[in-house]
Structure 1
Amino acid sequence: NNFVLRCEMDRTKLATGKAVSEEYTHGGFNWIATSEKSGDSANFAVRCVSDHKGPWKCEIEVGMHVLQPIGYFAFLSQEDHVFDENNFNKVVDFHYSWSSVEYHADIPNHKFAIEFRIRIIRTEKMEAEPGMFAAPNNRSDVILKIGEKRLHVSREFLAVHSPVFETLFFGDFAEKGKEEVEIKDVVYEEFLDLLHLIYLGPMEFTDRSVTHILKLGDQFQMERVLKQAEKYLTKTTGLDEMKKLIFADQYRLGSLRDHCLDSFTTLTQLTNKIKSSPDFALLSDAMKAAICERVAKLA
């Protein structure tokens, strides 16, 4: 998830006051960096663009380094930034004096160059696209209708992953043998995320998507999906521990429950969390008992 964009300015470009890096594709996004004269300064910007049709987000850490006459890049500054579908231009909060740019560009066999060393921290594409499910293919034999939208899938493949679908497609139900089956009580975009997960393998969960993946994994009794979501929840720092305990309680995720309780290393830390969280009342008696056991161990 690390890559470099470089802007270079020789004597020819110096006259225009502008420099642009080559466009670079990384992490599913298109990247470009620019440098432009503004008064007595050179302003720098990074641009992130996605072809994704729905909402998206990309959080980065960007460090800026300038080429020195002796041949190495010296560190200038570093900062974090979040791009999304409404905010894809970032004017970096660093201004380099234009006289310094001219100085570098005028040195024989040298040029002004700045590198943007970028690390992608996390990304979210908040709405999966139909892709392989939009039209019939050599592996599809049934249409799932969700609202007014349709998805082309394989009965057998879904049945392997879900006893609910196995019963629906191969049990003694009216849906057996139908070319089109209506799926109720699901959100199209959320169900599409589920299909991408089971068809294409491990997906990059987000704090947003894990909520509906858990719900659907439980609804369709997909144990492997629940385990993948549980693994993500043990690692993410974006969700409160009490929220994770609610997930563990609701979806019977024992490893997540133990992980969350073990994260409280002092009695004060745990009791303060309980007192400050309105979600504590939502927990089952069994989960409250597990918390009490942890309190006793820390006492």
Structure 2
Amino acid sequence: MSNDEKSFIMRHVFVDFKNMKKDTFYYSAKEFHCDIPWKFAIRVLSTGLDVYLVNAKLKDGESYSIDAHAEMRYFKDGEADSARLAKSKSITNEGYFILFENFFPEILDDYIVNGNLGIEVTVKIDKTVGITGKLRSFDDESTKKYSDVVLIVKNEKFFVNKKYLASQSSYFESLFFGNFDESKKSEIELKDIDPYIFHKFLEVIYAMPAVDEDTIDDILKLVDMYDAASVVARCEEFYLYRSKQPLKVKFHAAAKYNMIKLKEKCMADLKTVADFESIIPEDSKQFGTDLWKELCQKSLTLSK
């Protein structure tokens, strides 16, 4: 997505809509558009349905505001129905805004297909304050000049240098210089990843301060795919000195990605039995044997 893009379209199908519980919120997966994470949310009422577009940006102490307008449609068979257009809405400094309230159930029946409900929204961003955009371009003339391969993610092109990227990631080292057909191609498609998160991943590799509360989890998921030690180090640094995430989130990241300094800091922050209980995973296999031994020893020193 280009930096000057100020509008986008989101679609989501809520599966098994007919069997959803009343007065319960259901959310779509997070999507990044215009440098902002978004989700759909719906709440089924006895009298109808409320539909929300949620600004999923985490509040990390930095002030920001978003002025936007949205138009919502229900759709079926892959096509949105322009006759069911909701009124435009505006938001400023809010976590969400309502696209439609108490939508009549008899109208909804026209759009439920095999028990599922599809929603589409077109959003136009009028103004943002305090939203950090992309820090580096990977498709400008300067970047293209020194690029020797193009990575394509969902039709978005990233012009990069093979040797530099290979030096930062064992995956790309094998892809570019191993015995793969892709090593001879000038353009390579990467599948099953979000272009915005991949852009942030590349920014971190190129030593830009791109890690934040909204993207760190998704960036680390790419580490699993691409094996980039420098990205792990910068994410660890963010968790240590800037993140306001709870102890459990930090401890689990430290355990999964072998962040030694972060693990030591988290261990030192375990002061009480409640702290200890908060970091225990639902599946004991998430922690290795050595870590469980350390935790058992630590538990003997905790206060109630």
- TM-score, normalised relative to structure 2: 0.54
2:83 equivalent to 1:83: no
1:213 aligns with 2:194: no
| 1:50-199 mapped onto 2 (5 Å cutoff) | 53-55=34-36, 82-86=63-67, 125=132, 128=134, 131-133=137-139, 137-199=144-206
SS at match of 1:144: strand
Q: Which residue of 1 aligns with 2:292?
A: 288
Is the CA contact 2:200–2:210 (under 8 Å) kept in the aligned structure 1? no
Query: Cα 1:142–1:248, aligned 2, differ >3 Å: closer, same or farther?
Result: same
Matched residue SS, 1:85? strand
Distance 1:176 1:277, change over 3 A: closer
C-alpha distance 204-140 of structure 1, shift in aligned 2 (>3 A): closer
After superposition, the Cα gap between the structure-2 partners of 1:253 and 1:144, relative to the gap in structure 1 and judged at 3 Å, is: same
- What is the alpha-carbon root mean square deviation over aligned residues? 3.2
Alpha-carbon shift at residue 179 of structure 1 (Å): 1.1
Larger Rg: 1 or 2?
1
Give 3-state SS (helix, strand or coil) of 2:184's partner. coil
Shift of 1:278: 6.8
CA contact (8 A) 1:143 1:180 kept: yes
Structure 1 Cα separation of the partners of residues 300 and 208 of structure 2: 38
- Looking at structure 1, the residues matched to 278 and 138 of structure 2 have their Cα atoms a distance apart, in angstroms, of 46
Partner of 1:239: 245
**1:230–1:256 contact (8 Å) kept in structure 2:** yes
Aligned residues: 191
Q: CA offsets, 1:26-58, max 9 Å, x none?
A: xxxxxxxxxxxxxxxxxxxxxxxxxx9432879
Q: Is the 8 A contact 2:149 2:161 kept in 1?
A: yes
Contact 2:239 2:250 in 1 (8 A): yes
- Does residue 280 of structure 2 align to residue 264 of structure 1? no
Letter of the 1:142 partner, please give it: V
Q: Residue 257 of structure 1 aligns to which amino acid in structure 2?
A: K
Task: Work out the CA distance in 2 between the residues paired with 1:192 and 1:235.
Answer: 23
Moved over 4 A (4+): 56-60, 87-90
AA in 2 matched with 1:55: I
Give the distance between the partners of 2:58 and 2:258, measured in 1 at CA: 32
Measure, in 2, the Cα distance between the counterparts of 1:58 and 1:292: 33
Identity rate, percent: 23
Partner of 2:191: helix, strand, or coil? coil
AA partner of residue 248 (structure 1): A
Distance 1:163 1:237, change over 3 A: closer
Q: Tell whether 2:232 aligns with 1:226.
A: yes
SS at 1:292 equivalent: helix
Counterpart CA distance in 1 for 2:202 and 2:151 is 11
CA displacement at 1:193 relative to structure 2: 0.2
- Flag structure 2 segments of 5+ consecutive residues without an equivalent: 1-32, 38-56, 68-90, 95-129
The one-letter code matched in structure 2 to 1:85 is I
